[in-house]
Amino acid sequence: MCSIWTSVGFIPPERALDAARHRGPDGSGEVRRDTAAGLLVMGHKRLSIYDLSDAGHQPMVSSDERYSLVFNGAIYNFETLRSELEALGHMFSTQSDTEVLIAAWAQWGIAALARFNGMFAFALHDARENRLTLARDRFGEKPLHVTAWREDGGTRFACASEIGQLLEALPERPKLNRRVAADFINAGATDWGDETFFDDITRLPAGHFAEIDLSNPLPTPGEVIQSERWWTQPAMDPSLARPETAAEALRPALERAVKLRMRADVQVGSCLSGGLDSSGIVLLADRDRGEAPILCVSAIFDEELPGGGSISERPYVDMVADAARIERISVTPDDDAVRETFDSAITAQGEPFASSSILIQNLVFKAAHQAGLKAMLDGQGADELFGGYPGMAGPHLADLALSADFGAWKRTVDALCADESDFSPFELFRATYSNILPFPVRKTVARFKDGWPPRPWPAGPAALYPPPLPVKTRGANRFDRLIRAMTGAVSLPSLLRYEDRNSMRFGIETRLPYLDAEVSDIAFRAPGSAKIADGETKRMLRLALDGVVPEPILRRRRKLGFSTPEQRWLNGPLADVVEDAFAMLERDWTGFIDMHEARLARTAMGHDTKAAGMVFRLTAFAHWAKANGISG
């Protein structure tokens, strides 16, 4: 795990290499190669997780000096790959996954990517072919930002783990990408595509690689990066349609995924929210913890929701503590901590973020860092892969209605609304209707009723909202297609960005068992009937964790995650932040933001959670723009 930097055609300023030194506090290195395209510079800041000796430092160069590599991430199955490569004649001098990656590339080339079970973003130079290859893991757990520009009559190129590194190197500050900003402000969209909030800075797409020819001068900036996909979501397997069958395949795969991620040369802790996903990980990890208890960090708020009910996860965290040998750290920030964290989170994220939950996540990793942790497990990806979000019930109900199985539709609605849940019958009826009608039709109806664009919607027409569902594949219904969209474009990419920046801000590597190659392949192959059945979401996952997770957690219906008292914060510790943001919007952004709509949201934020979310996004955008010297 680290911060990487690669550039072609110029010598980057030292501050560009150091702009993300928080990602790699344990060592640094640099190699330079003269090429026909210009000087190649590969820099690295190391966070030591495997092989803590100096032998694991990067950039790592192969013994024959053909390959030079800077690598961010972890190849969890590197020990298995090393044994296979040794049988093929390769020799190793370190205990690092980095050396295994180089040998795998020398043996299999691009085909090595499909053999890696892990998270990665890397740049690899092949001196014999004079080619630079960039690659990113299947889900994009690890970031890789790229940019190219014209300078001194030639094309320059750079890629880096964080945008801030590129901003330090570019001759001019990029302009705001207004399409991305509008979708963020209006709909809360972040990381829905490969564009960033900065014009001319993009992300290498997840599951892609790119090859750059350095034997000739670089082409025009727009032609430097031509990426290709190396991984696609697996097709569905009808044999996994029953929840019980899918769970039988999932349980051992999940056990292996957690066990792989517990392997490290440093202590591995875990985030623990008290929900199904993180509780399952902690209780499976408890079996491989060795003698020491697992250090778990939880965010606890003993507060009531505005509409009634509690956001406290304390009782569920207590259940996990009773069932496993863990050491607990609880994070309950006071108002001063919330206020102080806002500014640091703006800096750490590099781009605006849509929810105050990111502040809590930041504080969780800060507490983990203070406790000495350098690696942690977390549960990102489970909701997307197994259908855990409340809004995902609508497509499933629409599928039932379109199949004319109204009895199943009624039973599902009744079950979803039973006991304490996130649903009401009217909301589910509306969700069914909304998911049956194509979006253009719904948009036309809403416009006829003066309901489009939605209000408040202050940043003009959104370019990407709503994101299209993937092209319908054989056997895929609305729910299946939504699962694939959530993991590939809509939800998971933003959560991975938040997680990576918040954890690496404190030099912590997060490991996500639900995104394991074997686990996620099973999840994709299992049809929606295995994931939501008889009114129960995440059915196959609940069955897989039956006997592992305490029954009250296994049957929980309400989803909280990192829930926060956002409305109170906006009127309390963040009130001055909001005030400053709206002053900046009035002064600098009236050509982009409709301030009448913005003020409507601010007036309603005390009693309307959607309005509160809008105010938070406007506030985050204004302060991010100020921090990056961007104005309207």
Two tokens, residue 297? 């960090």
Q: What was the pLDDT predicted at 336?
A: 92
Q: Report yes or no on 560 lying in a domain.
A: no
Starting from the edge strand earliest in sequence, which strands make up the sheet with 2-8, in order? 27-35, 38-46, 2-8, 154-160, 145-151, 201-203
Residue with tokens 């609304």: 417
Q: pLDDT for 225-252, tens place per residue?
A: 999 999 999 999 999 999 999 999 999 9
Residues 213, 261: one domain? Answer: no
Q: Report yes or no on 494 lying in a domain.
A: no
Two tokens, residue 254? 């999940």
Residue span of the structural domain in which 255 resides: 238-385+502-554
Q: Report yes or no on 448 lying in a domain.
A: yes
What is the rounded distance in angstroms from the CA atom of residue 304 to the CA atom of residue 277?
23
Residues 217, 286: one domain? Answer: no
Residues 28, 130: one domain? Answer: yes
Residues 115, 201: one domain? Answer: yes
Question: CA torsion angle for 209, 215, 221, 222 (degrees, to 10)?
Answer: -50
**What average pLDDT score do residues 612-632 get?**
94
Checking if the pLDDT of 561 tops 70, the result is no
Checking if the pLDDT of 455 tops 80, the result is no
Residues 429, 578: one domain? Answer: no
Two tokens, residue 283? 């209780």
Q: pLDDT for 505-523, tens place per residue?
A: 999 999 999 999 999 999 9
What is the rounded distance in angstroms from the CA atom of residue 437 to the CA atom of residue 146?
39
Phi first, then psi: what are they for 25, rounded to 5°? -85, 0
Averaged pLDDT of the chain:
90
What is the rounded distance in angstroms from the CA atom of residue 334 to the CA atom of residue 540?
39
Q: Report yes or no on 324 lying in a domain.
A: yes
Two tokens, residue 89? 């004649």
Q: Report yes or no on 54 lying in a domain.
A: yes
Checking if the pLDDT of 450 tops 90, the result is no
Q: What was the pLDDT predicted at 562?
A: 46
CATH number for the domain that contains residue 46: 3.60.20.10
**What average pLDDT score do residues 467-482 get?**
68
Q: Report yes or no on 496 lying in a domain.
A: no
Two tokens, residue 537? 């979401």
Domain count, the chain: 4
| DSSP label of 314 | H
Q: Report yes or no on 176 lying in a domain.
A: yes
Residues 89, 40: one domain? Answer: yes
Residues 577, 607: one domain? Answer: yes
Residues 470, 509: one domain? Answer: no
Q: What was the pLDDT predicted at 460?
A: 67
Q: pLDDT for 268-296, tens place per residue?
A: 999 999 899 999 999 999 987 777 899 99
Residues 69, 210: one domain? Answer: yes
Q: pLDDT for 576-606, tens place per residue?
A: 999 999 999 999 999 999 999 999 999 999 8
CATH number for the domain that contains residue 314: 3.40.50.620
- State which of 16-25, 127-136, 478-487 shows the largest mean pLDDT: 127-136
- Which range has the worst mean pLDDT, 195-209, 334-348, 386-400, 494-508? 386-400
By percentage, how much of the chain surpasses pLDDT 90? Answer: 70
Q: Report yes or no on 443 lying in a domain.
A: yes
In 3-state terms, what secondary structure has residue 133? strand
Residues 322, 457: one domain? Answer: no
Residues 88, 221: one domain? Answer: yes
In this structure, how many other beta carbons lie within 10 angstroms of the beta carbon of residue 631? 12
What is the rounded distance in angstroms from the CA atom of residue 279 to the CA atom of residue 259?
15
Q: pLDDT for 362-414, tens place per residue?
A: 999 999 999 999 999 999 999 999 999 888 888 889 888 888 888 888 888 88
Q: Which residue has the higher pLDDT, 266 or 441?
A: 266
pTM of the model: 0.93
Residue with tokens 């750490």: 348
Collect all residues with Cβ–Cβ distance below 8 Å to 410 and sequence separation of at least 6. none
In 3-state terms, what secondary structure has residue 516? coil
Q: What was the pLDDT predicted at 468?
A: 55
Residues 77, 224: one domain? Answer: yes
